[in-house]
């Protein structure tokens, strides 16, 4: 499931690769943060010693940077809030916490408390739309429900 990459995201990816020496093709914007997705084995290399690479990117781009591990889709591992999808969503939306994640018939249901639910949805449902786009691009999940 490939999403389109516009010129701005391509510039972010190229800059990330030059600074961190970690190749990636996955980058998206969530909650006004630039999120780079790298292979699990290279997350610490991408962040750098004492988070030097992330700090350097923060200074250059003047936006918050987040580095998360690339998810491996396994529909059997989603049940009960665990699995790769749950871990990936938790890394993307942190520090917001939720109770569990369930996959039902190509619909992902995120169960969260009242305050977390409001934060996950966002003003004008902006965060929900961003997260839905990310899930569609990475996992091919067509619908997102936050309850």
Indicate if the alpha-carbon torsion angle 138, 31, 87, 75 is positive or negative. negative
Report residue 99 as tokens.
Answer: 């109770």
Which residue among 69, 86, 107 closes a domain? 69
Same domain for 44 and 87: no
Report residue 4 as tokens.
Answer: 């389109």
- The residue segments making up the domain with residue 111 are 75-146
39 within some domain:
yes
Res 71: pLDDT:
82
Same domain for 142 and 81: yes
113 within some domain:
yes
Same domain for 32 and 91: no
Q: List the alpha helices (DSSP H) in the chain.
A: 7-20, 43-47, 52-61, 83-93, 114-121, 126-139
Residue 26 phi, psi dihedral angles, 5° rounding: -115, 125
Report residue 69 as tokens.
Answer: 């591990």
The total number of residues written for the chain in this structure: 147
31 within some domain:
yes
Alpha-carbon dihedral angle through residues 84, 100, 43, 27, given to the nearest 10 degrees: 80
Same domain for 80 and 140: yes
Rounded to an integer, what distance in angstroms lies between the CA atom of residue 29 and that of residue 11? 13
Matching residue, tokens 């569609």: 136
Instruction: State the total domains in the chain.
Output: 2
59 within some domain:
yes
Q: Which residues pair with residue 68 across a beta bridge?
A: 37
Residue 26: CATH number of its domain: 3.30.300.20
Ordered per-residue pLDDT tens for the chain, 147 residues:
456 778 999 999 999 999 999 999 899 999 999 999 999 999 999 999 999 999 999 999 999 999 999 887 655 445 444 578 888 999 999 999 999 999 888 899 999 999 999 999 999 999 999 999 999 888 888 899 999
Which residue among 69, 95, 123 closes a domain? 69
């Amino acid at each position: 499931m490939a999403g389109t990459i516009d010129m701005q995201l391509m510039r972010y990816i190229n800059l990330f690769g030059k600074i961190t020496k970690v190749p990636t093709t996955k980058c998206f914007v969530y909650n006004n943060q630039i999120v780079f997705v790298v292979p699990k084995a290279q997350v610490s290399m991408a962040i750098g010693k004492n988070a030097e690479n992330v700090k350097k990117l923060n200074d250059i781009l003047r936006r918050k940077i987040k580095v998360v591990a690339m998810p491996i889709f396994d529909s059997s591992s989603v049940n009960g809030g665990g699995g790769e999808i749950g871990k990936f969503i938790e890394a993307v939306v942190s520090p917001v916490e939720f109770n569990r994640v369930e996959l039902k018939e190509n619909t992902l249901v995120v169960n969260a408390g009242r305050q977390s639910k409001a934060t996950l949805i966002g003003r004008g449902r902006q965060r929900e739309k961003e997260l839905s786009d990310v899930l569609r691009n990475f996992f091919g999940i067509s619908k997102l429900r936050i309850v």
